[in-house]
Each structure stands twice: as C-alpha cells, then as structure tokens.
Structure 1
C-alpha cells in the first residue's frame, strides 16, 4: 500500500556471498565486553582485508572443540587419598604410552586420503573384514550371558549319544545279523546251516556328584531254523540236533562314597548260556543244549591311605543246570553239576606315580555241590584260589592297561582227583599306535569244572590280539586273533583253540551302522574224533541310541 511505504524496512540478505561486518552500536545501553572491544570486526576505523573474501570450507576437516581432555591435569601423579601408585614395567622394545596433550599442543594430523578423497588405510584389513558378523548369542556378547565355552573334540563322531532319564544316561542298541555257519554243531563231520542272530544291549550310567551306579546288560540269540541231520548209521551225534544258542550276560555295579577315602562297593552279576559246542561235558543223544545260569554278587570296600589302597570283598555265586532232553524223549538230571561258590578276594596297591600302580591280589573260595557224588561216583567239592602280582600303568596316554602273573590251584574232597594247578596270566593292554589305529591284547586264565571220570578239572588259558583301524571316520576295520589251550588234568585230553575273524563296519549315521563279519574257528583236540572246524559269515545292521 502506498501509505505504508515509509514504514517498510529492507531485510539484509543473510545468505549473500558478501560478508558484512556487524559493528556494535556505540549508543547501545549494553556494555561492551573485553572480547568485543578486541575484535577487529567491531572496530569500524580499521580496514578489514578479508571482509569481502569467501569463508573457507570445513568439509573434510576434523573439528576441535575447546581444550583437549585432561588439559589441566598435573603429571606429578598427586592423589588426594595418598595411595601408592605403581609405575608400569616396560620390557625392552615395548612401546611406551605417549604423554597427554597439554596447552599449546598442535591439533592431530588428519588421516591421509587418496586422490578421490577417501581414507587411505595403512594396515591390511582384519580377518573379519567383508564377513557376516556372528549373532550376539553365538559370539557370547549378550549382556549377562556367560562366556561361551569351546566345544570338546568328539573322539567318536558316530558313537551313540544316549538319552537322559532323570540323572541316568541310558544307551541302547540292537544288532540283527544273518549268515551261514559251515559247522554250527562243531562236529568232526561238519553240517552247515543258515542262521540269524539278534543281540540287544542296554547301558545305564548315573551322573551324580557322589556315589555311582552302572548297569550293563547284553544278550544274543542265535537261531538256525532247522535241526541237524542224524547219522546215516543210526549212531547219535556228538552235538544236539537243535543247536539254537541263547546267551545273556550282565552286571550292576554300585559305589557308596562314605568319605573321600572310604567307599563301599557292590556288584550283582548273572550269566545264562549253553554248554560250549565241542566240549566233552556235552552228553550224547541230546535233543537240545541244556541251559545253565550263574547268579552271584560281591560286597566289599575300598580304603585309601594316601597312596596306599586296600580293597576287599566277599563273593557268592550259584550255578544251576537244566535237565537234559534226549532224542528219545526222556529227561536226564544235571543236579550233580549244580554248586555254590563262597569266597573272598583282597587287593593291595600302591601308587608309585600317577601312571604306575603295582598291586598284589589274593583270592580264595570253596565250591559245594548239591550232590555229594557226581554221576561217575566222584566227590566234586573243592577249595582253591589264586595269588598274583602285577601293575596297572599309563604311559603318555598311548599305552595303558594292566598285566599280572601268578599261580592258581584247587584241591578236591575226593582223594582220587589230583590237584588242579597252573600258571596264571592275566592282561588287558591298549596301545594307540596312531590316531587311526588301536592295538589291544587280552589274556585270561580259568579253573573250570568237568564231568569226565578221573579228571580233576580243566585249566583254560586264552590270548586275544586285536587291531582296530579307521580307514575313514565312517569306515572301521577290526581284525582279531584268539589262541587258547584247554588242559584236562587227570586225563590225556588236551585241546587247542584258534579263531581268526575280521569285521568291517560302515557307519551311516550315529544311529545306524552296517556290519559284516567273517570268522574261522578251529578246535584241535588230542581226543580222536573231537576236532572240528567252521567258517562263519554274517551281515547285518546295528541300530543304537
């Protein structure tokens, strides 16, 4: 409007390229400060050569605000609490920290840049450059989360994992095999049969801070489907017509920790099996093998006196035989073979080093039969035992085990039966030859019963040599050789046993394996017509959890 023209004011262009000086009004009621008075821009009498120049650009410059941190702190190390201050120790060649910047310190040099204005790196990128970062939960950087532990190397990546039932770790497995045996009855004149075998397994181990319980149960049933053929001349076979063989073995071990050095121990064990084919104890004319069972237990304690350990226990075992079923349909008693064993065992060991622990072990027992006289008129009650000395050892975790040597003997109530005695050798050694190859050696000696007239018993020794090799993690080969001797003292009979076998295991997963077995068994007997040989071929699967 024309009437308002005189009231209009001109607004200066704040974004003009020409910088105008802002001069304080001398008539202003506000008092000028010392900084205003010293500012040359506020003095209109002095010429300003840079007044018409463009301000420098701050793009790419590192801004500096105020004075550096701790600019006024003293370097004398004064502490108002009068605490002693330890000077850090620097090793030769170690870089020392630079002193803090003080007043008048020039600003830091900006990082170097290339021609395009990008920062130029003076060091190589880190290992994590251009890699996706780990989630915080896996990296262990979540606040309050404990440090993530490194997982242990799995020595058996295809082994059974098991399941927890309360505080017990339980592992189960079953093998189903099929194959062919050229001589299942271990006859002098072999008769071959196809067979199947089912072998279940059960293992339960407690996971307690104190005390312990372990249950290990294993079994098998071998069925041949059809019976053997009788001799053409009508004479009975030395083996039953029905050669199906069940087998079940197991033990339950318990430990009660009274204190750190005192432990109460207990074991319950059982065995269900048949007579060994080819044994002279097997009657002629049998329709099937009689089953026998052995049930027993041990109750004892372990006491530690620093490096000295004393162990002792009382044992009891009961052996019972079924009546034999003959081919003519009659039954034959085996009560003369039933007996009960009462005994005890003690062991003293001393830990020379953590890897070497020698020991001395003594055992004694008494066998009492249900019948005073057996079928041949001999009193089979006896007393006996053994004494042995040896050591357990572990060398660099590559060779470990236990080896011992001693003497075993048994005296019988019937004076017509001589003492049963012999050298006792036991061993259990494991040698890790390479990370892929393991060598094992086992040895055992037993004093067994027999029904042969005039024969005290049988002294049996077995030696087993085994090599396990992993061609791959999922492919394992096992070679095994067993040699044994059976000495029937009081009789001229002497048997030798040879067994050579090879297993190939293909591990598909932790739960499913494929297993193949080839075995050759030989019985070389001094008794005419008692020697035998057989070849066994098996193929099947193993399912485990």
Structure 2
C-alpha cells in the first residue's frame, strides 16, 4: 500500500525534467568547453575525417550500424523477454570555417529493428542549429534551437508501464544567451523555452493510454556571474527563474493544478589547477510555488558538480553530480526529486584505442499523493577503436538496476551487449 500524503504535498516542485535538467546542462556545458579534452575527445590529425567543403562550410556526413542484445527488452520485473536489435543511423554536421562568429548545424535520422518484438521498432530524427555572434572582443551572443521526434526508453522511470509499444513524443527547444567579459567579472544571461508533446499509446489489454497530461511548456531565464579570485580559481553566483505550464486537454483533466513557478540560487567555484583538476562545484537552494491553492510549494537544497581530473596524460576521471526535479509520469504525483552522481573513467590504451568505464547512482523520491522512493544503479564499459580517418569500431556492455520500496516504480534488472561500426567522411 502506498502511504498517502496530505494535500500540501500534491505538487511540490512540479518542474519538468527537460526544463531544469537542460537549463543546468547548458550552464555546465558552456563552461566545460574550456576543459582539456579527455582521451576520447582528443583530435588526432591522421584519424580525423576530412569533410567536404561547401563555400565557407565543411560538411561531415556519417553512417552507423550497431547490433545490440538486450536480456530484458521491456524492462519487466523479475526478468522478461530478450531480443536482438539492429539500429541504422545517418547523420550530417555542417560547420562554419569563419575567423569570427560560428555556425553549426546537425541533423540525424535512425531506425531500429527487433528480431522478435516488432512492436518496439521505431524511427527517430531531429535537427539542431548552434550559432555564435562575436559582437566585439568582450561580448558574444549565442542561439541554439532544436527539434526532435523521439521514442521514450522502456527503462524511463516516467514511462507508462501498461503501454503496448514505446511512447512517442516531440520536443522543440530554443535557447538564447548573451555574455560579456568585464575583466575580472564575466556575466552571462540566457533564456530558454521547451515544448513537449506526447502521443497517446495503445494499452496492453486493449484501448488507449492518454498521455496528454504530460504535454508542457517550460520557460526560464538565468543570470550567471563569475568573479576571478585568482588566475586558477573563480567564484560563481547564479540565479534562475522559471515557469512550467501543463497543456493537457479538457478530456483528461488533472486532479489539481500542477502548473508551477520557481527559482534557483546557487554559489560555487570554478577550478583549473595546473591543468590536472578542472571544473566547477556549486550548491544553493531550489524553491517552487504551485498554482493550486491547496498545494504547498517546495524549498530544498540544490547542488551540482562537474569535475575533470587528469590522473595521467593517458587517464582521465570525470565526476558529475546534481539534484533536480523531474517529471513523474503520473497524475498522482507532481514530480520526482532525483539526487544522482556519475563517475566516468577514460584511458588511452593505444593512440587510437580508448577504453571507457562508468558507474552511476540515483536516489528518486516522489512528491505528490504517494510517498515512494527508488534507487537506480548502472555500470558501463566501452571500447572505441579508430581504424583510420573514416572507420570507427566500438563495443559496449552495460547493466542497469532499479529497486523501490513500493510498486509505484517498476523494479527490474537489464543487461545489454552492443557492437557497431561508424563511417565518417
């Protein structure tokens, strides 16, 4: 039996994961661009694709084929059906070669095929554009926009467990930012809007599972200040305000008004210690208010870390950690609080052969009408071999486990083995 909470807990912190997660990731990624490349990111002159010139742009097409064995393709408790999946993917990247400013466009399409469960077959695709305008030496503007047609992973904690096939959804995302360097002080302001639209999905026992209640519009604005304390250490202060609106149709009303408004305040440091330890650590407060007068908001701790440690010239360790509010996938909850950490190790065994290992942990707690928690563990090992400029061979093995103190979250274990080849030009 689920433990019921009072109405004050109905909608605490109902921000959608695509909002806070993407907002945090953009802030972190913008800084991570200056970090030393890891073994898997290093460019090797005689192993990099040449591309094709189109005016002042270079075009890099690629194609990929991979085959994967999954011992629990539907992510069912106690084990389930195994299957073999073939995925074919085509992509292209167009990159400017200007001395000032930059423009990059990416597009992809992929189709997977399953040997046994053809209901899991799906096509995905999308496009993204990323442009930077250098207004002057100290000021730059950036615009990033993307649109994707996706299929929800069966292992997602928010997916409808009674679904006969994976849930399809579309995501549109636009982000604009402006940065200025005042010398010892760097200021960055950014604004973002994300639209999510989920399709209804056939139910296993017949009928249709409505997913309109998950449709949403998310808007946010943020301001980040970085103050140089020393040549290798900077202090950080970041503030963000955001608004989430669910756009469910009237034929699928919510039991309460889940729309929320919130803010995040964080302080931290950026480090660059002798090119060995590079990254940032931050902590602060996360607050949300709910439109429904019967529901009380949430005030809690916000934290994050993105650290890179060059243990040796051939080995790198990276640590990622954060606490965020994500979608719950149910009208009974207004979201989940996810506290997570991920450790990644990369080692250059040979100049063109890189090994990677990853371990992660997440604690998930519901906020809403039910009080349930879950823990997720995952392990991954991967090897990538660059044969020449055009061919890459890769292999991966991973294990995922979820445990829960109630049946609201599905417990399962999933093991996968995958190998493939990528051709780049």
Are 2:72 and 1:194 equivalent residues in the alignment? Answer: no
- Which of 264, 268, 271 is the matching residue for 2:145? 268
Name the CA shift for 1:463/1:454 in 2 (closer, same or farther; >3 Å).
Answer: same
Match of 1:325 in 2: 202
Name the CA shift for 1:202/1:451 in 2 (closer, same or farther; >3 Å).
Answer: same
CA contact (8 A) 1:280 1:452 kept: no
- Which of 331, 338, 348 is the matching residue for 1:460? 338
- Equivalent-residue separation in structure 2 for 1:198 and 1:422 (angstroms): 43
Match of 2:33 in 1: none
- The equivalences for 1:360-375 within 5 A come to 360-371=237-248, 375=253
- Which of 116, 120, 124 is the matching residue for 1:226? 116
Local SS of the residue matching 2:213? helix
Are 2:414 and 1:537 equivalent residues in the alignment? Answer: no
Name the CA shift for 1:479/1:300 in 2 (closer, same or farther; >3 Å).
Answer: closer
Q: Return the offset for 1:505.
A: 2.3
CA contact (8 A) 1:417 1:454 kept: no
Q: Return the offset for 1:253.
A: 2.2
CA contact (8 A) 1:420 1:489 kept: no
Match of 2:65 in 1: 176
Are 2:416 and 1:512 equivalent residues in the alignment? Answer: no
Q: Return the offset for 1:200.
A: 3.9
Name the CA shift for 1:275/1:163 in 2 (closer, same or farther; >3 Å).
Answer: same
CA contact (8 A) 1:416 1:454 kept: no
- The equivalences for 1:133-172 within 5 A come to 155=44, 157-172=46-61
**Structure with larger Rg:** 1
Structure 1 unaligned runs (5+)?
A: 1-152, 229-241
- Equivalent-residue separation in structure 1 for 2:122 and 2:290 (angstroms): 32
CA contact (8 A) 2:158 2:327 kept: no
- Which of 339, 352, 377 is the matching residue for 2:216? 339
Match of 1:410 in 2: 288
Q: Return the offset for 1:176.
A: 1.2
Of structures 1 and 2, the one scoring higher in RCO (CA 8 A, sep 6+) is 2
Q: Return the offset for 1:268.
A: 1.0
- Equivalent-residue separation in structure 2 for 1:430 and 1:280 (angstroms): 29
* Greater strand content: 2
Name the CA shift for 1:395/1:306 in 2 (closer, same or farther; >3 Å).
Answer: same
Match of 1:449 in 2: 327
Structure 2 unaligned runs (5+)?
A: 1-41
Local SS of the residue matching 1:336? helix
- Equivalent-residue separation in structure 2 for 1:265 and 1:219 (angstroms): 26
Q: Return the offset for 1:309.
A: 1.8
Name the CA shift for 1:286/1:466 in 2 (closer, same or farther; >3 Å).
Answer: same
Match of 1:107 in 2: none
- Equivalent-residue separation in structure 1 for 2:254 and 2:197 (angstroms): 19
- Equivalent-residue separation in structure 2 for 1:375 and 1:527 (angstroms): 26
CA contact (8 A) 1:176 1:541 kept: yes
CA contact (8 A) 1:199 1:221 kept: yes
CA contact (8 A) 1:459 1:486 kept: yes
The Cα offsets for residues 88-116 of structure 1, whole Å up to 9 and x where unpaired, read as xxxxxxxxxxxxxxxxxxxxxxxxxxxxx
Q: Return the offset for 1:535.
A: 0.9
Local SS of the residue matching 1:425? strand
Match of 1:476 in 2: 354
CA contact (8 A) 1:422 1:459 kept: no
- Equivalent-residue separation in structure 2 for 1:182 and 1:158 (angstroms): 35
- Equivalent-residue separation in structure 1 for 2:391 and 2:76 (angstroms): 36
Local SS of the residue matching 2:240? strand
Q: Please, what is the CA RMSD of the aligned residues?
A: 2.7
Are 2:310 and 1:432 equivalent residues in the alignment? Answer: yes
- Equivalent-residue separation in structure 2 for 1:185 and 1:260 (angstroms): 53
- Equivalent-residue separation in structure 1 for 2:125 and 2:301 (angstroms): 30
- The equivalences for 1:48-87 within 5 A come to none
Alignment length (residue pairs):
380
- Equivalent-residue separation in structure 2 for 1:252 and 1:427 (angstroms): 27
Local SS of the residue matching 2:229? coil
- Equivalent-residue separation in structure 1 for 2:127 and 2:281 (angstroms): 24
Name the CA shift for 1:470/1:305 in 2 (closer, same or farther; >3 Å).
Answer: closer
Are 2:399 and 1:527 equivalent residues in the alignment? Answer: no
Q: Return the offset for 1:314.
A: 2.4
- Equivalent-residue separation in structure 2 for 1:525 and 1:171 (angstroms): 45
Q: Return the offset for 1:519.
A: 0.9
Q: Return the offset for 1:449.
A: 2.4
Name the CA shift for 1:414/1:263 in 2 (closer, same or farther; >3 Å).
Answer: same
TM-score (norm. length: structure 1): 0.64
CA contact (8 A) 2:402 2:413 kept: yes
Match of 2:19 in 1: none
CA contact (8 A) 2:286 2:300 kept: yes
Q: Return the offset for 1:278.
A: 4.6
Local SS of the residue matching 1:188? coil
